Structure 1
Amino acid sequence: MTAGAHRPAGTHLLADFYGVDPARLVAANDIDALLRAGALAAGARILHSHFHSFGESQGVTGVVLLAESHISIHTWPEYGFAAADIFMCGDAQPRLALELIERVLKPASSIVQHIARGRAVIPGHIPEPAPL
């Protein structure tokens, strides 16, 4: 691999957050700032972000585009639920982004799926699930 080359193998975290205070799930600017902070905590490079609010007291959808991939979120304040998608490759550490997002949203419970991506692209590497 040449210096500065970007490895395709990465980690994809799918997080469902339950029992979140609805007030934490409605402000697009706050959620944008939270996901950007998560990206920085993970050591990722932010390229762009776009967030959309569906109206007062309504949910938010948005994405932070990263050199390493993305972080996205969809919120349903009426159910106290948020679904986040954190995919990072290279040296970024998506678990650190997840920990920050969870610490701020303070869900009563969460379910996180961990998916190893692109491992077979690396010559001689046999894909197997990465531990949480």
Structure 2
Amino acid sequence: MHALGTHLLVELRDCNPEILKDLSKVKDALVSAAKEAMATIIDVSFHEFNPFGISGMVVIAESHLSIHTWPEYGYAAVDIFTCGDIIKPEVAAHYLIAQFESKNPSIVEMKRGILSCSNEKLPHKVCDAELQMVS
């Protein structure tokens, strides 16, 4: 069964709380994870909450990486959604596990955009001719 994309739900438990509350470290880790996975970065947006916690998104041409941190619990929730065959989301996930020093990580993989039951591989972008046929 082929899908348009792969979505990793990454649970990072028992992380270093000092890293999770440092905006520059969190941002650098997500940007670097995208680069490690060979993604094309389009935009980066992060927000630091008071008294602590960070949410951020790295938009990539192939989809996105996002994070929400709870330093007080040593926890971060990460989503890595990629389309196509070039990007390897598991590379980004393992990079982030190491960067946040997670002692108890888990990764759940979901296939997104399963449009048919055929064994035909689905391109993640539709060509102009096919788009005109749909409209």
Bin of the TM-score, shorter chain as denominator length: 0.7 to 0.9
Backbone CA RMSD of aligned residues: 1.9
Q: Which amino acid aligns with 1:118?
A: G
Aligned counterpart for 2:63 among listed residues 52, 58, 69: 69
Structure 1 SS opposite 2:115: helix
Identity %: 36
Q: Which amino acid aligns with 1:108?
A: K
Structure 1 SS opposite 2:39: coil
Q: Which ranges of structure 1 fall in alignment gaps of 5 or more residues?
A: 1-7, 128-132
**Greater Rg over alpha carbons, structure:** 2
Contact 1:16 1:82 in 2 (8 A): yes
Runs of 4+ with deviation above 3 angstroms: none
TM-score by length of 2: 0.80
Q: Which ranges of structure 2 fall in alignment gaps of 5 or more residues?
A: 122-135
List per-residue Cα deviations over 1:26-63 (Å, max 9, x = no partner): 1122111111111111111000010011135x110000
Distance 1:25 1:108 in 2: 14
TM-score by length of 1: 0.82
List per-residue Cα deviations over 1:78-102 (Å, max 9, x = no partner): 0111000000111211011001111
The size of the alignment, in residue pairs, is 118
User: Could you say which residue in structure 2 is the equivalent of 1:46?
Assistant: 41
User: Could you say which residue in structure 2 is the equivalent of 1:80?
Assistant: 74
Question: 1:91-110 maps to which residues of 2 (within 5 A)?
Answer: 91-110=86-105
Distance 2:50 2:7 in 1: 30
Q: 1:31 to 1:60 in 2, by over 3 A?
A: same
